[in-house]
Amino acid sequence: MKRVPTVLSLVLALGGLSACESHGQRAEEDHEVPVTTQPKVTLCSAIATARLQEPDGRVLSAEVENEDGRVICSVLLSVAGGAREVNLDAESGVVLGTENEALDKEASTLLEEIGRDPRRATTSATQAIEAALKVVPGAWALEAQLASEEGSIVYEVLLVDGHEGKLARISAADGHLVSLSDADDDEEEDEEGEAKERD
Protein backbone atom coordinates (compact mmCIF):
# COMPACT_ATOMS: atom_id res chain seq x y z
CA MET A 1 0.00 0.00 0.00
CA LYS A 2 1.14 3.52 -0.64
CA ARG A 3 -0.37 4.76 2.63
CA VAL A 4 2.77 4.24 4.69
CA PRO A 5 4.44 7.63 4.04
CA THR A 6 1.33 9.69 4.74
CA VAL A 7 0.23 7.69 7.78
CA LEU A 8 3.78 7.72 9.07
CA SER A 9 4.05 11.49 8.55
CA LEU A 10 0.81 11.99 10.46
CA VAL A 11 1.96 9.73 13.28
CA LEU A 12 5.28 11.59 13.43
CA ALA A 13 3.54 14.96 13.52
CA LEU A 14 0.87 14.06 16.03
CA GLY A 15 2.86 11.60 18.10
CA GLY A 16 6.08 13.58 18.34
CA LEU A 17 8.34 10.76 17.11
CA SER A 18 11.72 11.52 15.60
CA ALA A 19 11.80 12.07 11.84
CA CYS A 20 14.83 9.79 11.80
CA GLU A 21 12.47 6.85 12.35
CA SER A 22 10.60 7.51 9.12
CA HIS A 23 10.74 5.30 6.06
CA GLY A 24 8.53 4.50 3.09
CA GLN A 25 8.19 4.28 -0.66
CA ARG A 26 8.41 8.05 -1.16
CA ALA A 27 11.30 8.77 1.17
CA GLU A 28 11.86 12.28 -0.15
CA GLU A 29 8.37 13.25 1.01
CA ASP A 30 8.92 11.86 4.51
CA HIS A 31 11.12 14.85 5.26
CA GLU A 32 8.47 17.41 4.30
CA VAL A 33 6.75 19.13 7.18
CA PRO A 34 3.45 17.26 7.63
CA VAL A 35 0.17 19.16 7.50
CA THR A 36 -1.43 19.07 10.95
CA THR A 37 -3.91 21.95 10.76
CA GLN A 38 -7.00 22.02 8.61
CA PRO A 39 -6.63 24.21 5.52
CA LYS A 40 -9.41 26.51 4.30
CA VAL A 41 -10.12 24.26 1.31
CA THR A 42 -11.55 20.88 2.27
CA LEU A 43 -10.56 17.74 0.46
CA CYS A 44 -14.14 17.44 -0.87
CA SER A 45 -13.96 20.96 -2.32
CA ALA A 46 -10.59 20.21 -3.89
CA ILE A 47 -11.99 17.05 -5.49
CA ALA A 48 -14.96 19.00 -6.91
CA THR A 49 -12.61 21.57 -8.46
CA ALA A 50 -10.25 18.88 -9.82
CA ARG A 51 -13.20 17.05 -11.41
CA LEU A 52 -13.95 20.20 -13.42
CA GLN A 53 -10.59 19.56 -15.11
CA GLU A 54 -11.41 15.87 -15.76
CA PRO A 55 -15.19 15.32 -15.44
CA ASP A 56 -15.00 11.65 -16.47
CA GLY A 57 -12.02 10.80 -14.28
CA ARG A 58 -12.36 8.56 -11.23
CA VAL A 59 -10.64 9.85 -8.10
CA LEU A 60 -7.82 7.46 -7.25
CA SER A 61 -6.43 9.53 -4.40
CA ALA A 62 -6.61 12.98 -2.88
CA GLU A 63 -4.50 14.47 -0.12
CA VAL A 64 -3.55 17.64 1.66
CA GLU A 65 0.21 17.90 1.64
CA ASN A 66 3.11 20.26 2.11
CA GLU A 67 4.96 20.64 -1.16
CA ASP A 68 8.02 22.86 -1.14
CA GLY A 69 6.73 24.77 1.88
CA ARG A 70 3.28 25.36 0.41
CA VAL A 71 0.16 23.51 1.59
CA ILE A 72 -1.69 22.08 -1.39
CA CYS A 73 -4.49 19.67 -2.16
CA SER A 74 -3.40 17.07 -4.67
CA VAL A 75 -6.03 15.02 -6.51
CA LEU A 76 -5.12 12.08 -8.75
CA LEU A 77 -7.78 11.18 -11.34
CA SER A 78 -7.85 8.31 -13.82
CA VAL A 79 -7.88 9.44 -17.45
CA ALA A 80 -7.66 7.56 -20.74
CA GLY A 81 -4.21 6.04 -20.87
CA GLY A 82 -3.09 7.05 -17.39
CA ALA A 83 -3.76 9.53 -14.63
CA ARG A 84 -3.79 13.27 -14.16
CA GLU A 85 -2.72 14.97 -10.95
CA VAL A 86 -4.42 18.28 -10.22
CA ASN A 87 -2.76 20.46 -7.57
CA LEU A 88 -4.70 23.23 -5.86
CA ASP A 89 -3.73 25.89 -3.35
CA ALA A 90 -5.16 24.70 -0.02
CA GLU A 91 -5.98 28.26 1.10
CA SER A 92 -7.60 29.69 -2.04
CA GLY A 93 -8.67 26.62 -4.04
CA VAL A 94 -6.98 27.95 -7.17
CA VAL A 95 -5.63 25.27 -9.53
CA LEU A 96 -1.83 25.53 -9.45
CA GLY A 97 -1.21 23.05 -12.20
CA THR A 98 -1.85 19.64 -13.65
CA GLU A 99 0.49 16.82 -14.53
CA ASN A 100 -0.03 13.61 -16.49
CA GLU A 101 1.20 10.46 -14.76
CA ALA A 102 1.40 6.77 -15.50
CA LEU A 103 -0.92 4.49 -13.56
CA ASP A 104 0.82 2.19 -11.13
CA LYS A 105 0.02 -1.53 -11.15
CA GLU A 106 -2.33 -1.32 -8.14
CA ALA A 107 -4.41 1.49 -9.68
CA SER A 108 -4.56 -0.31 -13.05
CA THR A 109 -5.77 -3.48 -11.35
CA LEU A 110 -8.42 -1.58 -9.37
CA LEU A 111 -9.71 0.16 -12.49
CA GLU A 112 -9.85 -3.17 -14.36
CA GLU A 113 -11.88 -4.70 -11.49
CA ILE A 114 -14.27 -1.75 -11.51
CA GLY A 115 -14.55 -1.96 -15.30
CA ARG A 116 -15.59 -5.62 -15.06
CA ASP A 117 -18.18 -4.88 -12.36
CA PRO A 118 -19.02 -1.17 -11.90
CA ARG A 119 -21.28 -2.03 -8.93
CA ARG A 120 -18.11 -2.63 -6.88
CA ALA A 121 -17.45 1.13 -6.80
CA THR A 122 -20.66 3.18 -6.97
CA THR A 123 -19.60 5.42 -4.06
CA SER A 124 -17.58 8.51 -4.99
CA ALA A 125 -14.49 9.68 -3.11
CA THR A 126 -16.47 12.67 -1.85
CA GLN A 127 -19.26 10.43 -0.53
CA ALA A 128 -16.66 8.23 1.19
CA ILE A 129 -15.03 11.24 2.85
CA GLU A 130 -18.41 12.52 4.02
CA ALA A 131 -19.28 9.07 5.43
CA ALA A 132 -15.96 8.95 7.30
CA LEU A 133 -16.47 12.44 8.73
CA LYS A 134 -19.90 11.43 10.07
CA VAL A 135 -18.24 8.65 12.07
CA VAL A 136 -15.64 11.01 13.59
CA PRO A 137 -17.43 14.34 14.19
CA GLY A 138 -15.11 17.35 14.36
CA ALA A 139 -12.36 15.65 12.35
CA TRP A 140 -11.09 16.73 8.93
CA ALA A 141 -9.91 14.64 5.98
CA LEU A 142 -6.18 14.63 5.24
CA GLU A 143 -6.24 11.92 2.58
CA ALA A 144 -8.51 9.54 0.68
CA GLN A 145 -7.34 6.69 -1.49
CA LEU A 146 -9.09 4.01 -3.50
CA ALA A 147 -7.71 0.61 -2.49
CA SER A 148 -8.37 -3.11 -2.55
CA GLU A 149 -8.78 -4.85 0.76
CA GLU A 150 -9.54 -8.53 1.17
CA GLY A 151 -11.30 -8.72 -2.19
CA SER A 152 -13.35 -5.55 -1.68
CA ILE A 153 -12.78 -2.08 -3.05
CA VAL A 154 -12.66 0.58 -0.35
CA TYR A 155 -11.73 4.19 0.15
CA GLU A 156 -9.16 4.58 2.89
CA VAL A 157 -9.83 7.97 4.46
CA LEU A 158 -7.21 9.38 6.81
CA LEU A 159 -8.79 11.78 9.29
CA VAL A 160 -7.22 14.20 11.75
CA ASP A 161 -9.16 14.37 15.01
CA GLY A 162 -7.47 16.88 17.29
CA HIS A 163 -4.08 15.33 17.93
CA GLU A 164 -5.01 11.86 16.74
CA GLY A 165 -5.10 10.27 13.32
CA LYS A 166 -7.94 7.92 12.41
CA LEU A 167 -8.17 5.65 9.39
CA ALA A 168 -11.69 4.96 8.13
CA ARG A 169 -12.22 2.34 5.48
CA ILE A 170 -15.40 3.01 3.52
CA SER A 171 -16.93 0.50 1.10
CA ALA A 172 -16.76 1.79 -2.47
CA ALA A 173 -19.74 -0.43 -3.29
CA ASP A 174 -22.26 1.09 -0.89
CA GLY A 175 -20.58 3.74 1.27
CA HIS A 176 -20.81 1.90 4.61
CA LEU A 177 -18.05 1.96 7.21
CA VAL A 178 -15.92 -1.18 6.94
CA SER A 179 -13.52 -0.31 9.76
CA LEU A 180 -12.19 2.54 11.86
CA SER A 181 -8.79 2.42 13.53
CA ASP A 182 -6.15 4.67 15.00
CA ALA A 183 -3.65 5.68 12.32
CA ASP A 184 -0.71 4.49 14.42
CA ASP A 185 -2.32 1.05 14.80
CA ASP A 186 -2.70 0.85 11.01
CA GLU A 187 0.94 1.91 10.58
CA GLU A 188 2.08 -0.99 12.76
CA GLU A 189 -0.03 -3.44 10.72
CA ASP A 190 1.45 -2.08 7.44
CA GLU A 191 4.98 -2.51 8.79
CA GLU A 192 4.24 -6.09 9.91
CA GLY A 193 2.77 -6.93 6.52
CA GLU A 194 5.77 -5.47 4.68
CA ALA A 195 8.16 -7.44 6.92
CA LYS A 196 6.31 -10.68 6.08
CA GLU A 197 6.48 -9.86 2.35
CA ARG A 198 10.27 -9.41 2.59
CA ASP A 199 10.74 -12.76 4.39
Split at pLDDT 50, 70, 90, the class of 162 is: confident
Total domains, the chain: 1
Domain of 12 in residue numbering reads as 4-198
Q: Do residues 90 and 41 lie in contact, with contact meaning Cβ atoms separated by under 8 Å?
A: yes
| CATH at 31 | 3.10.450.40
Report the alpha-carbon distance of residue 22 to residue 40 in Å, rounded.
28
Buried b (16+ CB within 10 A) or exposed e, 99-109: eeeebeeebee
pTM above 0.95? no
pLDDT in tens, 38-68: 999 999 999 999 999 999 999 999 999 999 8
